[in-house]
Amino acid sequence: MEGRIPPRTQGDIGEWSAIGWLIDHGAKVFLPLGHSADVDLVAELGGRLVSVQVKTSTVCRNERYEVTLATRGGNRSWNGVVKHFEPDRCDYLFVHVGDGRRWFIPSEAVEGGTGILLGGPKYAMYEVEPDRPLTVLAGGRIGTLARPGGVPERSNGRGCKPRGSAFAGSNPAPATQVPTAPISTPDAAPSTTLGGDAPT
C-alpha cells in the first residue's frame, strides 16, 4: 500500500529518534551486539547505565496511538512464541508515534504487557519533545512517501490517521533532529511535560 512504511524502516527510524533524543540530553548511547528482544539501546544517564526498549506506532483510533509491546520475532521469522513486555527487562520505554509525538516512560510505569494507548492523560507526564512525523522521516528512504520538489510540513502534534502499523526496530537508520531539554535519571520521571493531566 502506497504511503505505508515498511516495518523494518519504521523500527530503524524509531531507534535513531531515541538515540538522537538521548544524545541531545547529554547521554552516552551504546548499541547491543546482535539481536535483543528486550533492549534496543543502553544509555549512560547521570553516571548510571540504563536499558531502553524502543517502539513505534502509526496505528491511531479515537485520538490515541495503539503501541504494541508484545514481540513476535521482530525482523526475524516468528517461532510462534509471543513475548510480553515486563518492567524488569528494561529501565525505560521510548516511543515515537506517527505524528511525531514521543514518550520516555520508566518501565515500572508501563501498565500493559501486550500494548498501551498513548495520546491521552495517562502517560502525559512522560511525553517529551516531538520530532517530525514518521512518514516525513521515512520520506528520504521511500520515494512514495515524499512529494517530488515539496517541503514536508511539521506535525502540529495532534491528530492522526486510523491506519498504520506498530513496530519495534532493531537496526539504525539516518539520525533525526531533536530539541534540547533536561532529562532525569531512572530515580525520577522525565521533567518535561507537554500538556495533559497527571496519569491515572
Question: Three-state SS for 144?
Answer: helix
Q: What is the pLDDT of residue 84?
A: 79
Q: What is the pLDDT of residue 141?
A: 62
Tell which residue, 73, 72, 69, 136, has the closest CA to residue 100: 136
- Cβ-based neighbours of 77, under 8 Å, separated by 6 or more: none
Q: What is the pLDDT of residue 197?
A: 46
Q: Distance between CA 145 and CA 158 in Å, rounded?
A: 20
- Cβ-based neighbours of 6, under 8 Å, separated by 6 or more: 142
Q: Which fold has domain 7-167?
A: Trna Endonuclease; Chain: A, domain 1 (3.40.1350)
Q: What is the pLDDT of residue 41?
A: 95
Tell which residue, 91, 120, 126, 94, has the closest CA to residue 108: 91
Kindly report the CA angle at 84 between 83 and 86, in degrees rounded to 5? 120
> Which residue ranges in the chain fall short of pLDDT 70?
1-3, 72-82, 140-200
- Does this model's pTM top 0.75? My answer is no
